[in-house]
Amino acid sequence: MRVATWNINSIRLRIELVIEFIQKHNIDVLCLQETKTEDKFFPTSTLAQAGWPHHAFRGEKSYNGVAIISRSPLTQIHYRDWAGRSDCRHISAQIENGPLIHNFYVPAGGDVPDRKVNLKFGHKLDFICEMTRHFTCQKPHNAILVGDLNIAPLAQDVWSSQQLLKVVSHTPVETESLKKLISDGGWFDIVREHFGADEKLYSWWSYRARDWAASNRGRRLDHVWMSHDIAPSVKMVEIKADYRGAEKPSDHVPVIAEL
């Protein structure tokens, strides 16, 4: 079973790229964030014709949106509204004969890492805190959590930890909160475990860079976690950085895990 996560930054704009990716890499389940479309416009027929007929999605016009696309039937489709907002940032589904998958799009948090002057940053911290409380009380079993969590938790997850300590996505309050969510919530960061502690890992490169590959100032914002009971079954993990160089790319790239 191959599971992938990808902040696609508009599913309708990049549907051909999505189809190419899932076919080329034999993906069984693809979780998307920032689909940026209302449910009535989600490209279900195009995906079904390509061989992925099972879908669970929540969307809104122009912003946010999450989706799970699967070859196998999906059951127990569910979502929660986190931190007091109905903003289409979470969906979960049970894969037939497989794990429960949670797909999250955590708020980016704005530009100023101070909740007193930046409500977006406060919303982000509250979102992570509520996730931690939820999974601490309901420990995951046979479960996967994926998504754009908008936090690069470790020094090796950013191009320069020293220079980014006051930049939203790598501030100490965010990184410590995410580490607490992993530990207290019963999750296992299988991407970092697979590559080891010392390797630089990025899944996002800013659109602002003239040459993203040459500057290589990336961050690992996209995550695949597993409950401890299924983490040992992971056989392969890949971060498909080449998709950042696709025609009309998302600023994020897919992350794949094979069980």
Q: Could you give the domains of the chain?
A: 2-258 (3.60.10.10)
Task: Tell me how crowded residue 184 is: count the other CB atoms within 10 A of its CB.
Answer: 14
Question: What are the pLDDT digits (tens) for 2-19?
Answer: 999 999 999 999 999 999
Indicate the residue type of 203. Answer: S
**Alpha helix (H) ranges present in 148-240?**
161-164, 172-185, 190-195, 212-215
Q: What percent of the chain has pLDDT over 90?
A: 100
pLDDT at 96: 96
If phi > 0 it is left, if psi is from -120 to 50 it is alpha, else beta; for residue 3 that is: beta
Q: Each residue of 178-199: pLDDT tens digit?
A: 999 999 999 999 999 999 999 9
Show Cβ contacts of residue 192 under 8 Å, excluding neighbours closer than 6 positions.
154, 157, 201
- For the stretch 102-142, pLDDT in tens is 999 999 999 999 999 999 999 999 999 999 999 999 999 99
pLDDT reported for residue 56: 98
H-helix or E-strand spanning residue 204: strand 204-205
201-255 pLDDT tens trace: 999 999 999 999 999 999 999 999 999 999 999 999 999 999 999 999 999 999 9
pLDDT at residue number 39: 98
Q: Which residue has the tokens 């697979």?
A: 194
Determine the pLDDT at residue 199: 98
Measured CA to CA, the distance from residue 177 to residue 174 in angstroms comes to 5
Give the long-range contacts of residues 122-125, CB within 8 A, separation 24 or more: 123/83, 123/85, 124/150, 124/168, 124/174, 125/173, 125/174, 125/177
At 65, the pLDDT band (50, 70, 90 cuts) reads very high
Query: Does the global pTM surpass 0.85?
Result: yes
